[in-house]
Amino acid sequence: MKINKKQACQADLRHRILTLNIEPGSVLDETVLSQQYELSRTPLREVFQRLAGEGFLTLEENRGAKVSSMDIASMRNFFQSAPLIYAAVGRLAAENAKSPQVTALKNAQRSFRKASESGNVLEMAMFNHSFHHIIGEMAGNAYLTPSLNRLLIDHTRMSQLFYNPKNDREEQLIRTACNQHDQMIEAIEKGEPAVVVELTLEHWSLSRDRMEKYVRPDPLPTDLDMDTYETKKHAF
């Protein structure tokens, strides 16, 4: 199916947000993006509406579109919700998975393992995103799927820290995470919900501590920034 300019814009903005090419909390410049994606303001705003509905952006009246924040409040909700949502989705995946979905999951895992062996941080983050997104499709729950998809946005953004190891121990954590993916696939194929839940929680715990360590709110203005702001404000 041919992808039109609006669809291409949506896909590219999703990718740029997930890979931190556009940082959390950034305000999107309509003029720049209109030129970049060769879209007029109306279809671009439709893209913004779609991405806001998916959780990538927030829309503020008279202030335009802003990339979803990773501030203290949102991260608190993230860490409270993640294990509950992942566990529920994993259980349903084991109960409802279809053969084509298992094949897709294996393909995602194959790509993830290849990326982990080459040390490609962005590919690891994106294929991990695909892996867990497919598990959500297996679960097929209209209530959980939107929550999982929103969760995966922040998880993918933070996971780039986890997939950028600084020592041998952190490299081992990545290898363990990769092996847990294989174990989850096997348990899903066997239809073992309890095993999938246990593996899912272990998998979450593996990366949680490192992600918590690096969580930061959106940048706050420093005293110097505020002094500069006040100077400029009074200059006009």
Rounded Cα gap, residues 233 and 215, in angstroms:
32
pLDDT the model gives residue 230: 46
Nearest to 16 by CA among 55, 53, 67, 63: 67
- Whether pLDDT at 216 is above 70: no
The model carries a pTM of 0.86
DSSP 3: -
pLDDT the model gives residue 59: 94
**Residue 21 region, left (φ>0) first, then alpha (ψ -120 to 50), else beta?**
alpha
Structure tokens at 119: 């040390």
More confident residue, 127 or 227: 127
Strands 64-67 and 57-60: antiparallel
pLDDT the model gives residue 163: 94
Rounded Cα gap, residues 6 and 226, in angstroms:
38
Domains in the chain, ordered, with CATH? 5-68 (1.10.10.10), 72-214 (1.20.120.530)
In the structure, what pLDDT confidence band is assigned to residue 214 with cuts at 50, 70 and 90?
A: low
pLDDT the model gives residue 215: 58
pLDDT the model gives residue 226: 46
DSSP state string for 87-105? HHHHHHHHHH--HHHHHHH
